[in-house]
Amino acid sequence: MKRFDIYRANPNDPADRPKYVSYYIDMNKCGPMFLDALIKIKDEIDPTLSFRRSCREGICGSCAMNIDGRHHLACICPINKENTEKSQISPLMFMFVLKDLVVDMSHFYAQYKSIEPYLKRKTPKTEGQREYYQSEEDRKLLDGLYECVLCACCQSTCPSYWWHPQDYLGPAVLMQAYRWVIDSRDEYTDERLEKLGGDMKLGECYQIGMCSLTCPKGLDPRRALEHLKHLYVEYKHRKEAELTTI
């Protein structure tokens, strides 16, 4: 039997106090991942337990939570069956809890929407054109960026985001901003960079690197943001040079 201490909270009930509740599971009758344990608890022990999940294979990003002190996607985080010590499961840090392991993602999604995460073009399509091509080299630049599933693990692990969640866009959103800035098919690069200045949107990244340590998909937001900051500085210098010439 393995013990799981799970954070339980219901902010809608004023009498409810947040607490950890212990559940015991026979690991010989449970699947290999933490999400399997949560589903087993909900199905067989306590149907009131709330958590998000959908794909069960690490591509929807909905089962992000803190497991034994680190952020993970529960569906691809294996339970160490040799380790009989208890495991502790909590919601993502520094996010408002709606219930138990379910956090409010609306602010995160609004910030993501603000960077206009889609291809933007100025050149009209030629007749019959259905696709925008790019070279294999340009396409390769997007590797390590497009795989982000927007689980917000990096976002809620970032100390800069803890301090200024209203203004700072955070590593997940900025990495997606970078993904569109360097996409050779996109024709709004300067406008995208311009929007990232001021109000601490990009400037609050101090390259702490917690984002890359925690990413459950093995991506490197810190490096992407480092490059994005360089691109932003280059853009600003270019703009200043243009103004001086005028």
Residues that bind ligand FES (CB under 6 A): 53-56, 58-63, 73, 75
Residue number with CB closer to ligand FES (39 or 193): 39
Q: Which is nearer to ligand FES, 128 or 218 (CB)?
A: 218
Among all chains, which residue has been given the structure tokens 């392991």?
101
**Closer of 152 and 175 to ligand FES (Cβ):** 152
Shortest reach from residue 206's CB to ligand FES, in Å: 29
Minimum CB separation of residue 134 from ligand FES in Å reads 28
- Find the shortest distance in angstroms from Cβ 27 to ligand FES: 20
Query: In the complex with ligand FES, which residue's Cβ is closer, 61 or 170?
Result: 61
**Dihedral pair phi/psi, residue 20, rounded to 5°:** -100, 135
Using an 8 Å Cβ cutoff, are 105 and 97 in contact?
no
Query: Could you report how far apart the first and last alpha carbons of the chain are, in Å?
Result: 75
- Closer by beta carbon to ligand FES, 120 or else 217: 217
Minimal distance, residue 110 CB to ligand FES, in Å: 21
How far apart CA 221 and CA 235 sit, in angstroms, is: 21
Closest by CA to 65, choosing from 85, 81, 49, 80, is: 49
Residue 77 Cβ, how far from ligand FES at the closest point, in Å? 9
Burial 87-112 (b: 16+ CB within 10 A, else e): bbbbbbeebebbbbbbbebeebeebb
Instruction: Please state the three-class secondary structure of 87-115 as a single string.
Output: EEEECCCCCCEEECCEECCHHHHHHHHHC
What tokens does 114 get?
A: 């603000």
